[in-house]
């Protein structure tokens, strides 16, 4: 059975909602799921210190990374996690795994694509295989990919509310990642 990890940081709950929508997509595909929300208590002197989470990811077939966009990039809490993966990177222990990204911000643009580019580059440095959306904005009956970003999930949220289509798109991405991970096991 394919195993998917979802690791995310969420300050106000919007990114958490998107991550949990992706988790629902993974579960609907019949895959094993491991998820973890990065907490401030796991960061010591600026560095993420929960080695169990990094080990769980190492034993997964795919990973979905999620962070809100702050000042044009990932949140510092997510970056502390990313920086703590240096030993995994140097040995390329995540190479060949699928990876996808999710982000949201309060503005319709707000440079969220910069966050997805960072998540994609982070995954690429680990030798991971990036998974984006295979549905173009405005070209599907369900209205998925509302904001038109193929690289991953870009959502817009105000007052901790996430558009239903963005949640549905995130669930779709979770099921897409799971399907690819399952196919890769054959």
pTM assigned to the model = 0.96
Percent of the chain, pLDDT > 90? 86
Q: How confident is the model at residue 186 (pLDDT cuts 50, 70, 90)?
A: low
| Strand-pair partners of 64 | 6, 100
Q: How far apart are CA 7 and CA 155, in angstroms?
A: 17
Q: What is the pLDDT of residues 73-114, one digit of tens each?
A: 999 999 999 999 999 999 999 999 999 999 999 888 778 999
The contacts of residue 36 (CB under 8 Å, 6+ apart) are 5, 6, 7, 8, 50, 53, 56
Tokens of 47: 């560095």
pLDDT given at position 20: 98
* pLDDT score of 160: 84
CA distance 166 to 146: 7
Among 56-70, 109-123, 131-145, the minimum mean pLDDT is found in 131-145
Task: Provide the pLDDT for residue 184.
Answer: 83
Q: What percent of the chain has pLDDT over 70?
A: 99
**Do 99 and 125 meet the contact criterion of CB atoms below 8 Å apart?**
no
CB 40 within 8 A of CB 11: no
Q: Hey, what domains does the chain have and what are their CATH numbers?
A: 3-184 (3.40.50.360)
CA gap 67, 123 in Å, rounded: 14
What are the pLDDT digits (tens) for 29-52?
A: 999 999 999 999 999 999 999 999
């Amino acid at each position: 059975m394919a195993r998917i990890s979802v690791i995310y940081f969420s300050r106000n709950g919007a990114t958490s909602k998107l991550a949990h929508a992706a988790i629902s997509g993974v579960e609907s595909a019949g895959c094993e799921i491991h998820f973890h929300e990065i907490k401030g208590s796991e960061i010591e002197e600026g560095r993420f210190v929960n080695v169990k989470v990094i080990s769980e990811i190492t034993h997964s077939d795919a990973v979905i990374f999620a962070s809100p966009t702050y000042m044009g990039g990932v949140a510092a809490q997510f970056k502390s996690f990313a920086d703590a993966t240096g030993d995994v990177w140097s040995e390329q222990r995540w190479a060949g795994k699928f990876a996808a990204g999710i982000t949201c911000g309060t503005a319709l643009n707000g440079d969220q694509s910069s966050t997805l580019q960072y998540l994609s580059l982070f995954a690429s440095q680990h030798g991971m295989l990036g998974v984006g959306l295979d549905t173009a904005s405005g070209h599907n009956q369900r209205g998925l990919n509302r904001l038109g970003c193929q690289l991953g999930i870009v959502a817009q949220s105000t007052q901790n509310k996430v558009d239903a289509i963005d949640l549905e798109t995130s669930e779709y991405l979770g099921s897409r990642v799971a399907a690819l991970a399952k196919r890769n096991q054959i």
